[in-house]
Copies of this chain bind each other. A is one copy, B any other.
Amino acid sequence: MSTVEEAAGDEEKAWGEVTPEAARRLLVAAVEAFAERGYHATTTRDIASRAGMSPAALYIHYKTKEELLHRISRVGHDRALEILETAADGEGTAAERLAQAVRTFVRWHAGRYSTARIVQYELDALEPDHRAEIMALRRRSDAAVRRIIDDGVRTGEFDVPDVSGTTLAVLSLCIDVARWFRSEGPRTPDEVGELYAGLVLRMVSAQKR
């Protein structure tokens, strides 16, 4: 249970941009509830009760449970895209940018694994319009990583026989951190990020230059 509580502590800070405070409190409660029992097993009543509010008070901020999921998914995917595009469009060699993309993307999945699991596992529960919007963000995230790998292949820094397959594998490796990472485990999010950056540079056969 302590991991859920710790994660919730991080969540409070992480959702700082959401206002008013009651709307933020409800999002944090929804992240906790979805993480513990899954989206389908959670009711809006559960979420309101966790936030110390009435169902009617929840309804002022979110009309449906799906609206809460969509909000969590949207904020999470916006952040993922920001991380990957910042790395892709940054300074440095392709190897430096790929390492930076992996480091920051892994840190996010490790540091906020409750949110990340919901973001990654509950896509099928989104309504069609929301799902389409989120899938478009995911394609842009994939494209950012692919752009770095393409750059490295073009400059001869990387040797990658299957660029789309390798892009998929790099993102998959980072995303799965949300499944296995525990804050009480032996490695910090920074350490996992560093380990994974090194492994990914091997996957693309990056040459030291």
A contact set with B: CB distance below 8 Å: 37-41, 120-121, 161-162, 165-166, 168-169, 172-173, 175-177, 179-180, 187, 192, 195-196, 198-199, 202-203, 205
In the complex, what residues of B have CB within 8 A of residue A205's CB?
202
Please report the C-alpha to C-alpha distance between residue A148 and residue B40 in the assembled complex, in whole angstroms: 41
What is the copy number of this chain in the assembly? 2
Please report the C-alpha to C-alpha distance between residue A172 and residue B169 in the assembled complex, in whole angstroms: 11
25 pairs of residues in contact across A and B, judged by CB atoms under 8 Å = A37-B38, A37-B40, A37-B41, A38-B40, A40-B41, A41-B41, A120-B179, A121-B179, A161-B198, A162-B195, A165-B187, A165-B192, A165-B195, A166-B199, A168-B180, A169-B173, A169-B199, A172-B177, A172-B179, A173-B173, A175-B179, A176-B176, A176-B179, A202-B203, A202-B205
Which applies to chain A's interface (DSSP): helix, strand, loop or mixed? helix
| Residue on B nearest A35 in the bound complex, by CB | B124
Please report the C-alpha to C-alpha distance between residue A187 and residue B162 in the assembled complex, in whole angstroms: 12
Which residue among A37, A40, A176, A202 has the maximum number of chain B CB atoms within 10 Å of its CB?
Answer: A176
Smallest Cβ distance from A164 to chain B, in angstroms?
9
Please report the C-alpha to C-alpha distance between residue A192 and residue B169 in the assembled complex, in whole angstroms: 10
| Residue on B nearest A164 in the bound complex, by CB | B186
In the complex, what residues of B have CB within 8 A of residue A179's CB?
120-121, 172, 175-176
| Residue on B nearest A169 in the bound complex, by CB | B199
Instruction: Name the one of B121, B165, B168, B195 contacting A169, with C-beta atoms under 8 angstroms.
Output: B195
In the complex, what residues of B have CB within 8 A of residue A165's CB?
187, 192, 195
Please report the C-alpha to C-alpha distance between residue A203 and residue B173 in the assembled complex, in whole angstroms: 12
In the complex, what residues of B have CB within 8 A of residue A196's CB?
169
Please report the C-alpha to C-alpha distance between residue A39 and residue B38 in the assembled complex, in whole angstroms: 8
In the complex, what residues of B have CB within 8 A of residue A203's CB?
199, 202-203
In the complex, what residues of B have CB within 8 A of residue A180's CB?
168, 172
